[in-house]
Amino acid sequence: MARIAIAGFQHETNCFVDSRTDFSYFASHRDRPPLVYGDEVLTWLSDTSFAITGFIRAMRSSHDLVPLLWTSGGAGGMVTRDAFERIAGSIVGLLSQAMPLDAVYLDLHGAMVTDDFEDGEGELLRRVRAAVGEQVPIVISLDYHANVTPEMVQLTDGLIAYRTYPHVDRIETGGYAAQVCETLLARGRPTGRALRKLPFLIPLNGQCTMVDPSQHVVSLSQVLEKEVVNLSYLAGFPPSDLHWCGPSVIAHAWTQDAADRAADVMFDAIVEREGQFAEEMFSPQEGVARAIAIAQTANRPVVLADTQDNPGCGGTADATGLLKALVAADAQGAVMGLLCDAQAAAAAHAAGVGQLLTLDLGGRSGPQGVTPFSASFTIEALGSGQFMTTGAVTGGRQVDLGLMALLRVGGVRVAVTSKRAQAYDQAPFRHLGVEPAAQKILALKSTCHYRAEFEPLAEAVLVVLAPGYYGADPSDYPFRKLRSGVRLKPLGRVHTS
């Protein structure tokens, strides 16, 4: 029986939003558990839908797991110095107290940028390696959108990435990490490591693994095949401004030759498909017009993805461009969600169901040009915001989105929350009495995760480019740290610093 420390520290950083992600945000209970320590990690994470869940399930009966802490700040602005130092310091401090250890497993994201470190995970891993020494294997799981750096590869012995976007394989990823950890405990640290960085960025809208080319690329992934410990593809998170931003291929293997050969095969498969990473998108007005036309004869809802206000990419979830287009077009049977406006939700609870409430809804957080939507709304339903998620991406989470309200103006209803959450589950809508499959139009603040739950219900899916803090075209980002020579999107212009 081995003694294995486990911990998690996750953040997906959008460097082009004005806000910062502070310690209180990591500590809060939202659409994911709050910051938890010690045995509370097992209480909160053993039966939910994160990678650490799969690792715990696979290892707890045969090994002595030493839980340190776990936290996720989701996606948002840069992580503050205070938040990073307090959380990373706690991990290293608790790790030191837990010694001696046989292995370490960390549930990370891979796209964290902080006030001091453009590679947050690399800095955390440097400290962890210094604490445990050169003999202890370190295995990590990473999000599919990780911006992998050389430090992440060199400081670890196994790196397992999600293979799906929408992310429906987090638990499976943790299970793979457990298999790797078991093998490393028996054989020791592998000597071969390879990192290949692609010469172009891939917009998030072109990264979906439900279709090619990404579907083919992830099918080449390996875990414990012949001399390969892991072969992983990570598509990158373009809004993170760092030197190593962008898609990666990583291999750990028992020999350097095996690592290089495996990485090169996957790398070549991606390069030859560069021009295929794309998705058609529409203006809000064109998207709404198409949705209304399709809905007239459809028996299933038309989905409009409000991709640039996706809180899962650092969006504020309160942009109003698509809402204004729906109301202006007199869309009937439309539901938008999830729009974050704590003031509006509180006002609706104070007024009560059935009341008419005049509000300036959303539009308080920017970006420039985004303004509140002013109207008189009928309050149709109220909710506590506390419920269990049910879907393929986030099922089994006890969430707290704060006070919620369903507001109607004309033929459009808006599901309002008090805390940011992406529309990747049907449970928030049902919490307010809305059955998604029964609607004419579903306007969802999401980029890709909605597809797992809502595309099977849909007559059609249309991606809409209303203003928001997540820019769907990376060539518009004002990069300051990205390395020169990278194409800012597939077949796009080359970045020069």
DSSP string, 314-365: T--S---HHHHHHHHTT-SSEEEEEEE-HHHHHHHHHH-TT-EEEEEES--S
- From edge to edge, which strands make up the β-sheet containing 138-142? 36-37, 64-76, 3-13, 103-108, 138-142, 158-161
Q: If you search the block for the tokens 């802490």, which residue do you land on?
A: 69
pLDDT (tens digit per residue) in 77-88 = 999 999 999 999
Alpha-carbon distance values, 273 to 215, 266, 267, 401 (Å):
12, 11, 10, 40
CA distance 368 to 39: 45
Q: Which residues contact 332 (CB under 8 A, 6 or more apart)?
A: 292, 411, 440
Q: Are residues 304 and 215 in the same domain?
A: no
Does any domain span residue 485? no
81 Cβ contact list (under 8 Å, min separation 6)? 114, 115, 116
User: pLDDT tens across 10-47, in order?
Assistant: 999 999 998 999 999 999 999 999 999 999 999 999 99
Count of CA atoms in the C-beta half-sphere (13 A) of 448: 21
**Domain hosting residue 398, numbered range:** 284-471
- Judging by DSSP bridges, how do beta strands 3-13 and 64-76 pair with one another? parallel
Phi-psi region of 343 (alpha: psi -120 to 50; beta: other; left: phi over 0): alpha
pLDDT at 174: 98
Whether 388 is covered by a domain: the verdict is: yes
Q: Return the closest-CA partner of residue 242 out of 307, 308, 197.
A: 197
- Together in a domain, 189 and 267: yes
User: Which pLDDT score, from 0 to 100, does residue 366 have?
Assistant: 83
Task: Give pLDDT, residue 230.
Answer: 98
Percent of the chain with pLDDT over 90: 98
Q: Is the pLDDT of residue 474 over 90?
A: yes
For residue 22, is it within any domain?
yes
Across the chain, mean pLDDT equals: 97
* Alpha-carbon gap, residue 479 to 314, rounded angstroms: 16
Structure tokens, 135: 């003999």
Q: Which two structure tokens, joined as six digits, stand for 372?
A: 């509140």
pLDDT digits (tens, 9 = 90+) for 108-152: 999 999 999 999 999 999 999 999 999 999 999 999 999 999 999
Q: What does the alpha-carbon distance between residue 422 and residue 310 come to, in Å, rounded to a whole number?
A: 6
Mean pLDDT of 392-400: 95
* For residues 98-112, average pLDDT: 98
The answer as to whether 75 is a domain residue is yes
- Does residue 125 sit in the same domain as residue 47? yes
Q: pLDDT, tens digit, for every residue of 41-72?
A: 999 999 999 999 999 999 999 999 999 999 99
Same domain, 372 and 259: no
Which residues share a beta bridge with 193? 252
Q: Given this model, what pLDDT does residue 380 score?
A: 98
Domain check: are 304 and 409 in the same one?
A: yes
What is the rounded distance in angstroms from the CA atom of residue 244 to the CA atom of residue 147? 6
Q: Give the SS3 label for residue 83.
A: helix
Pair 255, 289 in one domain:
no
Please identify, among 276, 310, 343, the residue that sits at the C-terminal boundary of a domain.
276
Tens digit of pLDDT for each residue in 404-426? 999 999 999 999 999 999 999 99
Verify that 252 and 387 share a domain, yes or no: no
Task: List, in order, residues 6 or more apart from 130 with CB less than 8 Å away.
Answer: none
Structurally, the chain folds into a number of domains equal to 2
pLDDT tens for residues 335-376? 999 999 999 999 999 999 999 999 999 999 989 889 999 999
Domain termination site, one of 245, 276, 307: 276
Per-residue pLDDT tens for 147-172? Answer: 999 999 999 999 999 999 999 999 99
Average pLDDT over residues 298-325: 97
Where a domain ends, among 276, 292, 321? Answer: 276
Whether residue 497 has pLDDT greater than 90: no
pLDDT in tens, 435-465: 999 999 999 999 999 999 999 999 999 999 9
Query: What is the DSSP code (8-state) at residue 165?
Result: S
Residue 368 confidence (pLDDT): 87
Residues 164 and 46 in one domain: yes
The reply to whether 77 and 105 lie within a common domain is yes
Q: Are residues 226 and 303 in the same domain?
A: no
Q: What is the DSSP letter of 395?
A: T
- 415 and 446, same domain (yes or no): yes
- pLDDT tens, residue by residue, 237-296: 999 999 999 999 999 999 999 999 999 999 999 999 999 999 999 999 999 999 999 999
The answer to whether position 72 is within a domain reads yes
Q: Retrieve residue 489's tokens.
A: 């999107």
Whether 490 is covered by a domain: the verdict is no
- Within this chain, do residues 192 and 81 fall inside the same structural domain, yes or no? yes
- Does 416 fall in a domain? yes
489 domain-assigned: no
Q: What secondary structure, in 3-state letters, does 222-285 show?
A: EEEECCEEEEEEECCCCCCCCCCCCCEEEEEECCHHHHHHHHHHHHHHHHCCHHHCCCCCECHH
Whole-angstrom distance, CA of residue 175 vs CA of residue 306: 33
